[in-house]
Chain A
């Protein structure tokens, strides 16, 4: 699974326009073998953008009926940033129960997990996994893949911001320290050697590597180093 996800994210990393995010969301849905995936971004300007696998009739009905005003997922997730299992939400009101029933009738699964994302300049997004399964299977799935999905969700958001930002994304620029850390790893130094050389603790080195990994849209350190080399951000 990890290797396939790697390939998929690499393809998304190479994408040059927002339509690639649509196919990435479908690809991710297939890789994880779940019913649906939704990525929905809202900028501080109010501009919205979404890539999702929901059937079009359901999207149309949702928009037409302003379901976002009664949807417990939206009401819960567009505030705070705690990931939310749909089971934990309050579906007891009549409109919420009707919404859930309509969703199922339109091909949605009964389980869901939504990850709120905070981006720069007040941007926020919601990344939702929807599936049809019993509670046990769903519990195993969320425990097994939540960490993976968290990284994938943020990666999709970073790519969306970069592709939407006319080519420059200052929040994705590597800091001098992050560049130093990746350069030493690329030169074959161990973490201990790199930390020693930069006169910082290994915990601190790990943070610079992790931040660089995130900004570069890499799944792991090896991928981050390769990515920085190929983009000419570090040189040997």
Chain B
């Protein structure tokens, strides 16, 4: 199952939140060697977690954190705009139709299906919210992983092994991601609506 939770919803989902922030430590500090802040509980958090972002969280069959990512609208403060504007044409990209996706994280025990479910869930957010694009910053070699998963970004810029990428939302991509994840479009939408309700925002691409 996929959950769609704001930071302000995490109190009511304590175990899931703890799993996510600890798995982020395991991925970003331990496996990738990034210089990130980890607190006394072993949770990796940054300034953007304090902006009440929307987390997309894939649960395993026992309801534990299997993988997650984080969305913020580019009209507000974003990591790309604050830290990597040189990767996006020399300044921040800002639009209500474009959200930034960060902290794509897989639990150490996640199987291959989790990444596919997360990409599908990201696409679900875009279509449900009437967005056109998502932008994200990632380790440059990850582009091959995204290609294999069936949703390749356009590269906006690369510097020192870090890339900014652009994903475009569309019904065609979404259907493909549903097939790869083995989840029906109806099921995918139902999970989103269970947390966020029905949104009359979907627009044609």
Q: Give the interface of A toward B (CB within 8 A).
A: 79-85, 88, 117-124, 139, 142-143, 146-147, 150-151, 154, 157, 171, 173-178, 180, 200-201, 203-204, 206-208, 210-211, 213-215
B60-78 vs A, Cβ < 8 Å mask (1 yes, 0 no): 0000000000001111110
Contact flag A203-B168 (CB < 8 Å), given A80-B6, A119-B75, A175-B91:
yes
Instruction: Please report the C-alpha to C-alpha distance between residue A173 and residue B85 in the assembled complex, in whole angstroms.
Output: 12
> Does the CB pair A151–B96 fall under 8 Å?
yes
Q: Given contact pairs A80-B8, A80-B52, A151-B96, enumerate 11 new A-B contacts (beta carbons under 8 Å).
A: A88-B197, A118-B77, A120-B75, A121-B77, A175-B93, A177-B90, A204-B154, A207-B133, A207-B135, A207-B156, A214-B96
Question: A-B pairs with CB below 8 Å: how many?
Answer: 120
Which of A82, A84, A177, A207 is B166 in contact with, Cβ under 8 Å?
A207
Query: Contact partner of A120 among B6, B76, B129, B156, CB < 8 A?
Result: B76
A175 to chain B, nearest CB (A): 3
A215 touches B197 (CB 8 A): no
Shortest distance in angstroms between A181's beta carbon and chain B's nearest beta carbon?
A: 8
Query: B183 in the interface, Cβ–Cβ < 8 Å?
Result: no
Task: Flag B152-182 by CB within 8 Å of A: 1 or 0 each.
Answer: 0010100000000010100000000000000
Q: Could you say which of B72, B133, B200, B201 has the most chain A C-beta atoms within 10 Å of its C-beta?
A: B200
Question: Bound complex: CA of A103 vs CA of B93, how far in Å?
Answer: 39
A210 to chain B: which residues have CB within 8 Å?
Answer: 95, 97-98, 132-133
Contacts A80-B52, A147-B201, A175-B91 hold; do A154 and B154 have CB atoms under 8 A apart? no
- Could you mark each residue 183-195 of chain B with 1 if its beta carbon is under 8 Å from any beta carbon of chain A, else 0? 0000000000000
Tell me the smallest distance from the CB of A9 to a CB of chain B, in Å.
14
Assembled-state Cα–Cα distance A81/B77 (Å): 13
Q: Are B75 and A118 in contact (CB under 8 A)?
A: yes
Residues of B within 8 A of A215 (CB): 94
Q: How far is the CA of A174 from the CA of B196 in the complex (A)?
A: 34
Could you write out 19 A-B pairs with CB less than 8 Å apart? Answer: A80-B52, A81-B73, A85-B198, A117-B96, A120-B75, A120-B77, A123-B76, A124-B76, A147-B203, A157-B75, A171-B81, A175-B91, A176-B89, A203-B154, A206-B132, A206-B133, A210-B97, A211-B74, A211-B95
Could you tell me which B residues sit within 8 Å of A by CB distance? 6, 8-9, 51-52, 54, 72-77, 81, 85, 88-98, 129-130, 132-133, 135, 154, 156, 166, 168, 196-201, 203
In the complex, A51 Cα to B6 Cα: how many Å?
Answer: 28
**Would you list the 8 A-B pairs with minimal beta carbon distance, nearest first?**
A177-B89, A175-B91, A118-B76, A176-B90, A80-B6, A79-B8, A214-B95, A175-B90
Q: Which of B73, B75, B130 has the most CB of A within 10 A?
A: B75
Q: Is the CB of B133 within 8 A of A175?
A: no
Whose C-beta in chain A lies nearest to the C-beta of B168? A203
Cα distance, A109 to B16, chains bound together (Å): 40
A150 and B95 contacting across the interface, CB-CB below 8 Å = no
From B76, which residue of chain A is reached at the shortest CB distance?
A118
Q: How far is the CB of A160 from chain B (nearest CB, A)?
A: 13
Max chain A CB contacts within 10 Å: which of B51, B88, B96, B166?
B96
B196: which A residues are within 8 A, CB to CB? Answer: 82
- The residues of B that contact A178 with a CB separation of less than 8 Å are 89, 91
Find chain A residues with CB under 8 A from B199 CB: 82-83
A178 to B81, CA, bound (A): 14
Across the interface, B154 reaches (CB within 8 A) one of A79, A175, A201, namely A201
B76 pairs with A119, CB closer than 8 A? yes
